[in-house]
Amino acid sequence: MKEVTITIDNTKHSVAKGLTVLDAARQVGIDIPSLCFMKLHDINIENKPGGCRICVVEVKGRKNLVPSCCTEVEDGMEIQTHSMRVINARRTVMELILSDHPAECLTCAKAGDCELQVVADRLGIRELHYEGEKTHLPKGNSPAISRDPNKCILCRRCEMMCNEVQTVGCLGAVNRGFHSVVTPAFGNDLINSVCTFCGQCVAVCPTGALTEIDESAKVVRALNDPTKTVIVQTAPAVRAALGEEFGNEPGTLVTGKMVAALRRLGFHYVFDTDFAADLTIMEEGTELLRRLKGYLAGDTSVKLPILTSCCPAWVNFFEHQFPDMRDIPSTARSPQQMFGAIAKTYFADLLKIERKDLVVVSIMPCLAKKYERARPEFQQNGNPDVDVVLSTRELARLIKLCNIDLNQLPDEEFDQPLGESTGAGVLFGTTGGVIEAAVRTAYEIHTGKELPKLEFEELRGMEGLREATIDFDGLDLKIGIAHGLGNARRMLEDIRSGKSHFHAIEIMSCPGGCIGGGGQPYHHGHVEILKKRQLALYKEDGSKKIRKSHENPYIVSLYKNFLGAPMSNLAHLLLHTHYFDKKY
């Protein structure tokens, strides 16, 4: 690689040609502040519209200050990152941004996690010298995401995630100048747009302009209602991230402490979505094998590949954008909804209570789960299978609200019968995990033999598109994996054009899978955190005694005592769904 010599703040450095001034400076330990800029290394995407002008620097010989995020280094360049002129410009820019920003920091949902606040503080802004017109636009709500355009600083990160990474195309900038605003097409609300509620816009928003709809008050109300039995399920990815909200290193597993905290919050039963993930494997795995057998027997009505259907944003995506292909994904409901359906029937019967007196709360790394739980097909007479969904962040706030110090809690175990899970179930939280779990079960059912090794390294990793061939005792099962909806789109287009050669494809909407979900602790651009969360889930899988879904004793007894067999009539009624054409 070619190198160039530059001088930054009076010190000479050799840096790679082609770097931006910002990257070069950060490499040599000079942290130029930035705001709209965001680089997601692992998914190889950058947001650098050069719009905010916070990262300006002075370059000798140039008349104007230049934005360091989109200026490349040149040989012999002399750069000043903190001259009087630069500091004054930066502070003026920040004051102008703040002059059109509601000063609601004390009550803002992003308080303490706001990048605008952090940078303003770093620049030492203690007074605003400018007063001018303020934006007064209506807020937009939806079942999952709250939009407050008045807090938007037009960094365009959400637009980048929505259009380039996810290729959803919901959010875009409209109007011009002072009237610019980022919104769905035609000024519609998110619910009347192509939004999938994946929440990746929320995950990158530097301010409180995009946040989740906070439903923790509903949970507090239910927990304080003596007529209700309140149970909770926790998604696999939550345990690998919740600890971050309490000062732990990314990748710290807090499964036992999370269970203890939920018990102290007052939940009557603390259950695990991992249990429902095992159940999903039984249904989805059986469906895969049936479709595979039909296909191999030459039945032309059988469609392959089969696509996973656990991810609600992915379901929204293909309903909106590929409705003609909605017969390809598995009909299996997501683990969250399987859990809700079993809880409100099987478990309510065990407790001898009516479904209306049972409140099912989900803790999810995801915002689309809030939308999913409200879908009409997942309700009975207006009573939903899942009553409230809280994100990982909302749970952390609830724990703090209730004076619980997570780090001081003992490790506790989930309750039974819906809390027992296998290592396969916990893998659902990461890209590649659902298909690895499915392969463990499908292999043994299909071949009748025991797997020699449970870890499928070829299915693991962080590449956006991966493929692997697994030897099913003579049958080569071709597997594809995509995470991020842009990668999912490529998979779908290949299937449509007949180029796809896969038997089964796993799709997760968020980069990294659920560990990178829109409801997780904010990564602030440090996507390397996702790898640590992934390793934590692999670790949890490895530490489990039972690691194959079909060996979960509570799953075995659920089929024996209630469901009959995978894909039985009752299983169809409770654990499967159908999809809609939502193209508009």
- Euclidean distance between CA atoms 139 and 200, whole angstroms: 19
Classified as helix, coil or strand, 434 is helix
Q: Based on CB atoms, which residue is closest to other proteins, 76 or 138?
A: 138
- 310 has catalytic annotation: yes
| Bridge partners, residue 272, by sequence | 234
- 458 has catalytic annotation: no
Q: What is the distance, to the nearest Å, from the Cα of residue 283 to the centroid of all Cα atoms in its chain?
A: 24
- 402 has catalytic annotation: no
With CB under 8 A as the contact rule, the residue among 70, 174, 191, 451 that binds other proteins is 174
- Residue 508 has φ and ψ, to the nearest 5°, of -130, 140
Per DSSP, the chain holds a count of helices (H) and strands (E) of 19, 21
Marked catalytic residue, from 146, 309, 330, 509: 330
Question: Which contiguous run of DSSP H or E holds residue 454?
Answer: none
Structural tokens at position 170: 């919901």
Q: Binding to other proteins by residue 170, rule CB under 8 A?
A: yes
Q: Binding to other proteins by residue 185, rule CB under 8 A?
A: yes
Residue type, 450: E
> Of the ranges 98-106, 176-184, 330-338, 356-364, which one interacts with other proteins (CB under 8 A)?
176-184
- Euclidean distance between CA atoms 574 and 566, whole angstroms: 11
Q: Based on CB atoms, which residue is closest to other proteins, 159 or 284?
A: 159
Q: Based on CB atoms, which residue is closest to other proteins, 186 or 376?
A: 186
Residue 253 vs residues 95, 240, 292, 344, 419: alpha-carbon distances, Å: 41, 5, 37, 29, 17
Q: Binding to other proteins by residue 172, rule CB under 8 A?
A: yes
Site string for other proteins, 414-453 (x = CB under 8 A): ----------------------------------------
Q: Based on CB atoms, which residue is closest to other proteins, 163 or 379?
A: 163
Q: Based on CB atoms, which residue is closest to other proteins, 187 or 266?
A: 187
For residue 194, the minimal CB distance to other proteins (Å) is: 7
Interface with other proteins in residues 187-216 (CB under 8 A): 193-194
Q: What is the distance, to the nearest Å, from the Cα of residue 160 to the centroid of all Cα atoms in its chain?
A: 16
For residue 159, the minimal CB distance to other proteins (Å) is: 9
For residue 324, the minimal CB distance to other proteins (Å) is: 14
For residue 320, the minimal CB distance to other proteins (Å) is: 11
Residue 446 vs residues 290, 404, 505: alpha-carbon distances, Å: 10, 47, 18
With CB under 8 A as the contact rule, the residue among 2, 63, 136, 176 that binds other proteins is 176
E strand spans, 175-268: 181-184, 210-212, 229-234
Q: Based on CB atoms, which residue is closest to other proteins, 80 or 163?
A: 163
Marked catalytic residue, from 158, 310, 366, 510: 310
> Of the ranges 170-178, 300-308, 532-540, 571-579, which one interacts with other proteins (CB under 8 A)?
170-178
Q: Binding to other proteins by residue 584, rule CB under 8 A?
A: yes
Q: Based on CB atoms, which residue is closest to other proteins, 501 or 583?
A: 583
Q: Binding to other proteins by residue 171, rule CB under 8 A?
A: yes
- 369 has catalytic annotation: yes
Residue 403: which residues within 8 A CB-CB, separation 6 or more? Answer: none
With CB under 8 A as the contact rule, the residue among 163, 229, 248, 331 that binds other proteins is 163
Interface with other proteins in residues 52-111 (CB under 8 A): none
- 287 has catalytic annotation: yes
- 449 has catalytic annotation: no
Q: What is the distance, to the nearest Å, from the Cα of residue 55 to the centroid of all Cα atoms in its chain?
A: 29
Q: Binding to other proteins by residue 145, rule CB under 8 A?
A: no
Q: What secondary structure letter does DSSP report for 44?
A: T
- Euclidean distance between CA atoms 273 and 38, whole angstroms: 33
Question: Which contiguous run of DSSP H or E holds residue 393?
Answer: helix 392-401
Residue 503: which residues within 8 A CB-CB, separation 6 or more? Answer: 288, 292, 295, 304, 305, 306, 477, 478, 479
- Euclidean distance between CA atoms 516 and 272, whole angstroms: 19
Marked catalytic residue, from 52, 514, 540, 549: 514
Marked catalytic residue, from 58, 287, 420, 506: 287
> Of the ranges 185-193, 393-401, 403-411, 462-470, which one interacts with other proteins (CB under 8 A)?
185-193
Classified as helix, coil or strand, 387 is coil
For residue 187, the minimal CB distance to other proteins (Å) is: 8
For residue 449, the minimal CB distance to other proteins (Å) is: 48
Q: Based on CB atoms, which residue is closest to other proteins, 168 or 277?
A: 168
With CB under 8 A as the contact rule, the residue among 175, 380, 557, 561 that binds other proteins is 175
Marked catalytic residue, from 284, 394, 420, 436: 284
CA terminus-to-terminus distance, the chain:
49
- Euclidean distance between CA atoms 238 and 518, whole angstroms: 12
Question: Which contiguous run of DSSP H or E holds residue 438?
Answer: helix 433-447
- Residue 282 has φ and ψ, to the nearest 5°, of -60, -45
For residue 149, the minimal CB distance to other proteins (Å) is: 14
Q: Binding to other proteins by residue 184, rule CB under 8 A?
A: yes
Q: Based on CB atoms, which residue is closest to other proteins, 413 or 493?
A: 493
| Cα torsion angle, 101, 102, 104, 109, sign | negative
Marked catalytic residue, from 115, 159, 212, 372: 372
> Of the ranges 166-174, 227-235, 445-453, 554-562, which one interacts with other proteins (CB under 8 A)?
166-174
Q: How many residues can be counted in the chain?
A: 584
Q: Which residues contact other proteins by CB under 8 A?
A: 163, 168-176, 183-186, 193-194, 584
- Report, as residue numbers or ranges, the catalytic residues: 284, 287, 310, 330, 369, 372, 377, 514
